[in-house]
Amino acid sequence: MIYLDYTANTPADPVVLDAFIAAEQRYIANPNSTHIAGQQARAEMDRVTSSIAQHLGVQPAEIIYTSGASEANNLAVKGIAQAARHIGKHIISTELEHSSVGASLSVLQQQEYEIDLLRIGRDGRVDLDQLRELLRDDTILVAVCAVDSELGTVQPIREIAELVKLYPGCRLHVDATQAVGKTDLWLDGVDTMSFTAHKFYGLNGIGALYKRRGLVITPQISGGASTTIYRSGTPTLGLAVSLDAALTRALDAQAARTAQVRLLHDRLVAALRRYSLVRINSPETAVPHIINVSVTGIKGTRFQQALSEQGVCVSVKSACSSDGMPSKAVFAVSRDRRNALSSWRISISHLTTEEEIEGFLQAFDTCYKTLTNKEN
């Protein structure tokens, strides 16, 4: 099997897994318990939270643990909107957002919030001029992903933050799920930022929301003591420890890992461009970990299945997206519905080997010739 779907999920780093097991075995008490075992667990939770905050350059009180990025996005988008409804009900976002953001916006739209979606340029980036035009006094939220999961586009968060700060009642939420470990994070002017460990070799089931201190949001889970008033539930110390371990390793090794991925990316793209019906949808400025491809005339689901039969794992759109619909992200940059229906995603890692790249290219060649009846 050749696994090229690291954007959907990554294998747990053995060091991260060891950290989780050690914490689970050593700290058996609820960190909110007042007895000595609880106090020890609380001390470890505080240490881990301080470490995560230090990595991000924020305060420990600004870290909210969640079950993952989907919960963090729901908490941020709905929480900000509900807390600011006395100011206004206007929200700005994009077609590139993860389904957890899009679905949250749909729920708010049913509650009479007004949603505007920014145009996406051919380079995959949001239209800053349109954002400037759409912002108004009753705009309460701008929600933009740092890196798009389908194309790998890096959004201009710094420039977006500069525009948003001109409107005191507006908040900026950034979904950084695909950014951690792939590109530098920008938090100056960002009010909330979501991420999850299983995208950077951590465990499934643990994520976090950075929430700027002083910002009031409406909790989405009621009852149950935790580490914060904004997210109820027994603190998951072992998972928090694993998140810290994964984040530490991802940030420390980011430059070296990205350089390694870039070499694999360039080899893949050069090889794929030799085929006349192949279209690379990811812009040149995208992170090298994600390569979005279309083969003209062949639906993405069909090509994905053919590759799967050859033992190669790739994705059609995000793993959390609906099947059978064209990719909104690819349509946004190509303006071509058929191309969007033909698109699929390769996502690679520093764990990807040269042998796997060669195996993929051989499998691709076989599928391409079979499905298109063309030699190249």
The number of C-alpha atoms within 13 Å of 47 and in the hemisphere containing its C-beta is 12
CB atoms < 10 A from the CB of 237, how many? 24
Q: What is the number of H-type helices and E-type strands within the chain?
A: 12, 12
Beta partners for residue 66, in sequence order: 207
- Among the listed residues 304, 196, 229, the one whose alpha carbon sits nearest the alpha carbon of residue 79: 229
Evaluate whether 104 touches 55 at the Cβ level (below 8 Å): no
- Is 320 an active-site residue? yes
Q: What distance, in Å, lies between the first and last C-alpha atoms of the chain?
A: 25
Q: What is the DSSP string of 314-369?
A: -BSS-TTSPTTS--HHHHHHH--HHHHHTEEEEE--TT--HHHHHHHHHHHHHHHH
Identity of the residue numbered 146: A
Contact 295, 372 (CB under 8 A): yes
- Residue 62 has what DSSP assignment? G
Catalytic residue among 145, 313, 320, 367: 320
Amino acid at 301: T
Where in the sequence numbering do the catalytic residues fall? Answer: 320
